[in-house]
Structure 1
Amino acid sequence: MIIKNYLIKDRLNKLQVLSKTANKAGKSAFYNKFRRTSLAKSLKKNFGEKNKKQLVNFKLTTAVAGRIMRKRGPFIVVQDVSSNIQLYIDKKTISNEIHKDIKDWDIGDIIGAIGDIDKSKIGELYLLVKKAYILTKSIRHLPSKFHGIKDQEIRYRHRYLDLIMNKEVRKTFKIRTRIISALRKFFYELYFLEAETPILHSMPGGAIAKPFETYNYSLNIKLYLRIAPELYLKRLVVGGFERVFEINKNFRNEGISTWHNPEFTMLEFYWAFATYKDLMEITEHMIRFVANEALGTTSIYIGKILNIDLSEPFDCLSMRDSLIKYGKTFSINNSDFYDLENLLFLSKRIGLTVANYNNYGNLLNKLFEVIVERKLIKPTFVTDYPVEVSPLARSKDSNLNITERFELFIGGREIANGFSELNDYIEQSNRFYLQLRNKYTYDLSYFDMDYIRALEYGMPPTAGEGVGIDRLVMILTNKDSIRDVLLFPLLRSRKF
C-alpha cells in the first residue's frame, strides 16, 4: 500500500515499533487488559472543590482512560465519555521506559493511566501519573481543536469524528437518549403497553407515502418497509390491548430536506375509550414532562432569540380559522372556503399551482401548508382537518366532511398528528376505495382487507397519535436540520 500522507506513514512506523516491542513481551500492541476505575466527570465532582493539601493527605490512586486531545510539555489532556482530565507526567514518578514511550504518543491515541489525584497551583485537577499504557494507536490525525470541523458534510458523513471533536454534538445525542427514555417513562406511568410490530409489510398502510420495496425469496413475495405501524397497533386494540404504544423506525421513499429523512423515528400510541380531545390534553402534559426530564426546564429557544415556555397553555385553532388569522396578507375571509370553486379562485390569487389538487380537502390542506404552517411558532393545535386528507380519522357527527383530527405545530413544523379513530368498518372500506379511485393518491394507496376484517370483530372507540421523535428532538435542542439529531443521516454515496 502506498502511503501518500507522510503523517499517517509516521504513525504507522510508530505502530510497527510498538508491535515489535509488544510481541517480544508476548503481548499485543492493542492492549486490552487495562481497567478504568474513574471517569473524569466524577473526579471533578468529588474532588474539584478540595485543595491541594487535602488531596495530598487523601492520597487517592485511580485509573483513567480515554483519547489524547492535547499534549503540552509534561501535560496530557485525556477525553473520556464524561469529560476530560489532565495528566501530569513527572520523571520522578514514572520509569524511564514509560517516559520514553510517552514521547511517541500522538494526539488521538487512546491511553490508560494510573496515578494520584492532585491539584495545580492555579487550582486545576490533574492525575500525577505512575503508570501509563497505550491501548490503541490512532493512525489518522484529528482535526485542529481550535478550528474544529466546519464542513457539515464531513460532520454527517464521519459522525465518529464529529463526536470526538464537538462537545455540543455529544450533548445533543445524550439529550436525544433522555427524550426517548422520558417518553417511555411517561407512557409506562399511564399503564400503556409497549409493543413491537413488523417492519416488513406485505402492503403499505397507515399513511399516504411512497414505500421502499424489497423481496422475500423464501415466500416469493414483494414486501415493503414500514411507512407507519398504525394499522398493526390498532389490531392490538381490537385484541384487547386498550393502551398501547410503540417507538419505531419508519421508512418513506420520498424527498430529503432539513426536516425529512427517508428513515425516521416515530412514537405512536393508541388509547381505547378516548377521543382526539383527550389526546390534545395528554400531548401537552407529555411535551412538558419530556422537556423537564431531558432538559430540566420547559423554557426552550427557537432560533437564537425566540424563547418559548412550554408550561403555558398551547393554542388551538381550526384549519379554517388559522387560514383567516395568518392569511391577512391575502385578505382571506370565511367566504373563501365555501366550495372548491372558491378555493381554486383563492389559489390563483396567491399564485399557487393547483394542477394536482382535484378535490376540496386536498386543496384546503395545501393552502394551509403554504400560508399557515411556518407561522405556527408557539405550540398550536390545528383541528378540523377535511376527510379527504384524513382517511383513517372519524368524521364529526355534526359535519361528515370534517374529521376529529389535530396536528401539533411548534417552531413552524408539524410535531404530532392525532385523531379519533374510524372504527366503522363500512365507512373505512369506502374510504379505502375512494383513495384507490383518486388519481392524486392512486400510486400510494392500498386496500388492507385484513385490517377491515379486524374492524369487523369490533374496535372500541379509540384515539391514536403519532409523534415525530426526530422533530421533537430538533425543537428541544434548537436544531435547524434533522441531520443534526440523527447519528447517521442518509447521504449520497461517495467514494473515499
Structure 2
Amino acid sequence: MSQELDQMRVRREKMDELKAAGIEPFGRRYHRDHLAQDLHEQFDQVDKDELLEQENMVSIAGRMMRKRSSGKAGFADFVDRTGKIQVYARKDMVGDEQYHIFKRADLGDFMGIKGDVIKTNTGELTIRAREITFLSKALRPLPNKWEGVKDPETIYRQRYLDLIANPESFKRFHQRTAIIKAIRKYMDDHGFTEVETPILNTQAGGANARPFITHHNALNIDMYLRIATELYLKRLIVGGFERVYELGRVFRNEGMDLQHNPEFTTIETYAAYWDLWDVMDETEGIIKAAAKVVSDDGKITYQGTEIDLGGEFKRITMNDAVKEQTGIDFKEIKTDEEARQLAAEKHVKYEKWWSKGHILSAFFDEFVEDTLIQPTFIYEFPVEVSPLAKRNQENPEMADRFELYIAGGEMGNAFSELNDPIDQKYRFEMQAKEKANGNDEAEPVDLDYVEALEYGMPPTGGLGIGIDRLVMLLTDAKSIRDVILFPTMRPEKTADGEEEK
C-alpha cells in the first residue's frame, strides 16, 4: 500500500510539472483519424520500404500501456477501443518539450500522436511521432501488466481495471454487444417489432419469482420492479401487434450464485398464430444466429466441453427424459399420493401439497437437467408448473411448454400461450392457493390481464431467453458476473466496520 501511495505522490508531482509548463493535465478534444485496428488492416501487409515512400500521416489517441525509452528515443504501446499500436518517438523529430512529456509520462496516461506509418526492423507496424499532445494524467498506477487483475472482488467492483488489464474480459463484453445485435437482427428480419413495456408494475407477474418492492410517493402505493415482460407483451398481441419482442432488464429478489444476479437481461418474444413447435424453430434460429458471432460452424467449447450449436437440436418430452435417466415412467403413476411416496423413496424433496405434476418436475430437476449438455428441447411440462401455458390437446394434465437446455442449464422457456380467459383465471386462482400454502414465488391473480384476454387473443407462441446465460455459454464464462459489466455486490466495509452508503 505504501508503494502505491509513493507512486501516486510521484504522479501528482508530474501533474504539477505539466501545469507549470502550461500543459493541461486533463486535456480537451483531440481529433484522431485512425484507430489501431484500422491501421493494422490497412498497413500490416505493406512492405517496410513501401511504407517509407508513402509517408502516410495519421493521428491516433489512446492510453499508454507500455514504454521503453532511453536517451533521445523511445517506444511505447498505445491502446484504444480496437487494439494496440506501437509509437516511436525521437527527440530530434518532436522537439525537446514534447519528448520530455513523452519520457516523463506514466503508464495509464492518455496521449494523442500525429505521425507517419512505418515498420521497424522487426516488422512491427509503428507510428513515428511528429507531434505529441498530452490528453489526460492517470493519478493511480495501473495493475501489474504481467499479472493483470485476478482478484474477483476487484474485477467485479472495479470493472474498469478489469477492462484495462484483461484483454479477454474487454473482448467478452464486445462480444456480448455483438451477440445482442445479432439477436435483434434475427428478430427484425423475421417480422418482429421491438417494444418497451413498464419496468415499474402495480403487481409482479409473468413468472414465478419474488419481486423487489418500492413505493410511489405521489400515488401512495407500493410498486414492483418487473420480474418478466410477459403479460404486457401479450396485451399487445391482443391489441393486434401480432409479432413483438422486448430485450431488457428484469429484476428478481432472490439469491445470487454463478447463474443468478438480482437484475439480468432477457428477451421475450410473442407471435400470433404460432404454437410451441414454431417457437422451437425460432429459438433454434436465435441461438444459431448468436453463435455465429463467436463460431462460424456453431461449435464452441464451454468449460472444457465441446458443444455443437450448428446441428439439429434434440427434442424429447419431460416424462421420456426422466424415464431415460431413472427408468421411472410417470404415465404409470395414477395418484398424487403415489408420486409423493416415490419422491420419498428416491430422496427427492417435496412439499406435502405437491401433486404428481410437481413431483415429475422435481424429478427432472434432480436427475435430468445436469445431464443435458448438447442442445435439447424438453417439452410437455406439467400444467401445475406452467400457469400461463395452453393445455396439451391429447393430455390435458400437460402443457404445451418447452425449455431449452445446453451445458446442463436452462437457456430458454417457451409455450403455446394460454389464451382462454376462463382457464387463465382458474390457473391464477390455483396459484393463489399455492401462495397461501407457502409458495412465495407463485403468480398473483391479475384480473386486468384476464380482462384483456376476454377481448380475444389469437393462438400465440411465446419465448423467453436469458441473455446473460447465453453470453456465458458463447464466451466460455463460468460466472454470470463475468458477463454483466457491473454485477450486484454486497457493500464494502469501511475501516470502522460500517457499510459504505
TM tier, shorter chain?
A: over 0.9
- Tell me the CA shift for residue 229 of structure 1: 0.8
Match of 1:397 in 2: 393
Q: What is residue 453 of structure 1 aligned with on the other side?
A: 451
Instruction: After TM superposition, give the deviation of residue 235 of structure 1 in Å.
Output: 0.3
Aligned residue for 2:488?
Answer: 490
Is 1:184 aligned to residue 180 of structure 2?
A: no
- Does residue 70 in structure 1 map to residue 62 in structure 2? no
Mapping of 1:316-465 within 5 angstroms?
A: 316-327=315-326, 331-334=327-330, 337-355=333-351, 358-438=354-434, 439-441=437-439, 444-465=442-463
**Residue type of the alignment partner of 1:111:** M
Q: 1:411 to 1:337 in 2, by over 3 A?
A: farther
1:277-309 CA-to-partner distances (Å, cap 9, x unmatched) read 1111121122112212454331111222x2222
1:361 aligned counterpart, secondary structure: helix
CA RMSD of the aligned region, Å? 1.7
| Aligned partners of 1:483 and 1:489 also within 8 Å | yes
Q: Could you report, residue by residue, the CA deviation over 1:35-73 in whole angstroms, capped at 9, with x for unpaired residues? A: 111111111111111122101100011111111111112
The one-letter code sitting in structure 2 at the alignment partner of 1:475 is L
Does the Cα contact within 8 Å between 1:37 and 1:62 map onto a contact in 2? yes
* Paired AA for residue 268 in structure 1: E
- SS of 1:5 mapped into structure 2: helix
User: What is the alpha-carbon distance in structure 2 between the residues aligned to residue 468 and residue 413 of structure 1?
Assistant: 11
Gaps of 5+ in 2: 495-501
Q: Is the 8 A contact 1:336 1:346 kept in 2?
A: no
1:16 aligns to what?
16
Counterpart of 1:58, as a letter, is Q
2:445 maps to a residue whose letter is: F
What residue identity is the alignment partner of 1:46?
Answer: Q
Counterpart residue number, 1:81: 81
Aligned partner of 1:210 in structure 2 is 210
Q: Give the corresponding residue for 1:115.
A: 115
Distance in 1 separating the partners of 2:58 and 2:313:
51
Partner of 1:46: 42
Is the contact made by 1:358 and 1:440 (CA closer than 8 Å) also made in structure 2? no
Structure 2 residue matching 1:404: 3-state secondary structure: strand
State the alpha-carbon separation in 2 of the partners of residues 93 and 236 from structure 1: 66
Q: Is the 8 A contact 1:435 1:442 kept in 2?
A: no
- Correspondence 1:241-390 to 2 at 5 A: 241-293=241-293, 295-304=295-304, 306-327=305-326, 331-334=327-330, 337-355=333-351, 358-390=354-386
Measured after TM superposition, the shift of residue 334 of structure 1 is: 4.8
Q: Summarize deviations over 1:300-332 as a string: whole Å, max 9, x none.
A: 11222x2222221111111111111122xxx53
Matching residue of 2:499: none
Instruction: Give the direction of change, closer, same or farther, for the CA distance of 1:335–1:266 in structure 2 (3 Å limit).
Output: closer
Paired residue type of 1:452: V
Letter paired with 2:118: D
Q: TM-score, normalised by structure 1?
A: 0.95
Q: What do residues 437-485 of structure 1 show as CA deviations (whole Å, max 9, x unaligned)?
A: 1214356431111101101100011111101111111111121111111
Match of 2:473 in 1: 475
Q: Which amino acid aligns with 1:184?
A: R
Q: Relative to structure 1, is the Cα distance of residues 475 and 337 closer, same or farther in structure 2, using a 3 angstrom cutoff?
A: farther
Contact 1:357 1:440 in 2 (8 A): no
SS of the aligned residue for 1:170 comes to: helix
* Partner Cα separation in structure 1 for residue 130 and residue 160 of structure 2: 31
Q: Which residue of 2 aligns with 1:193?
A: 193
Tell whether the 8 Å contact from 2:468 to 2:480 is kept in structure 1 after alignment. yes
Amino acid at match of 1:341: E
1:76 alignment partner, SS class: strand
Return 306-315 or 367-376, whichever deviates more: 306-315
1:271 match: secondary structure: strand
Question: Which residue of structure 1 lines up, in the alignment, with residue 497 of structure 2?
Answer: none
- From the superposition, tell whether residues 186 and 57 of structure 1 become closer, same or farther in structure 2 (CA, over 3 Å): same
* CA distances 1:113-165 after superposition (whole Å, capped 9, x unpaired): 11111111111111111111221100111111111111112111111110111
Distance 1:5 1:202 in 2: 51
Query: Is the Cα–Cα contact under 8 Å of residues 208 and 441 in structure 1 kept in the other structure?
Result: no
Change (3 A) 1:338 1:303: farther
Q: Return 5+ residue gaps in structure 1 as ranges.
A: none
Identity %, equivalent residues:
42
Tell me the residue number matched to 2:498.
none
Secondary structure of the residue that 1:89 maps to in structure 2? strand
- Secondary structure, counterpart of 2:489 in structure 1: coil
Shift of 1:82: 0.6
- Between the aligned partners of 1:450 and 1:253, the Cα distance in structure 2 is 24
How far off its partner does 1:360 sit? Answer: 2.2
Determine the C-alpha separation between the residues in 1 that align with 2:88 and 2:24. Answer: 26
AA of the residue aligned to 1:332: I
In structure 2, relative to structure 1, the CA distance for the partners of 1:393 and 1:5 (3 Å cut) is same
Report the counterpart of residue 224 of structure 2 in structure 1: 224
**Contact 2:93–2:130, Cα closer than 8 Å, also in 1:** yes
1:495 and 1:72 mapped to 2: Cα distance? 40
- The structure-2 alpha-carbon separation of the partners of 1:338 and 1:82, relative to structure 1 and needing over 3 Å to count, comes to same
By how many angstroms is 1:341 displaced?
Answer: 2.7
Cα pair 1:175 1:295 within 8 Å, conserved: no
1:245/1:443 Cα in 2 relative to 1: closer, same or farther (>3 Å)?
Answer: closer
Letter in 2 for 1:466: G
Q: What secondary structure is seen at the aligned counterpart in 2 of 1:79? A: strand
The CA deviation string for residues 323-364 of structure 1, in whole angstroms up to 9 with x for no partner, is 11122xxx5345774432333233223322324662222222
Partner of 1:161: 161
- Residues of 2 paired with 1:4 and 1:49: CA distance? 42
| CA distance in structure 2 between the partners assigned to 1:244 and 1:294 by the alignment | 27
Residues 33 and 335 of structure 1: CA distance in aligned 2, closer, same or farther (over 3 Å): closer
Spell out, residue by residue over 1:425-447, the C-alpha distance to the aligned partner (whole angstroms, 9 max, x if none).
11100111111112143564311
Whole-Å Cα distance in 1 between the matches of residues 353 and 97 of structure 2?
77
2:465 partner letter: V
**TM-score (normalised: structure 2):** 0.94
**CA pair 443-177 structure 1, distance change in 2 beyond 3 A:** closer
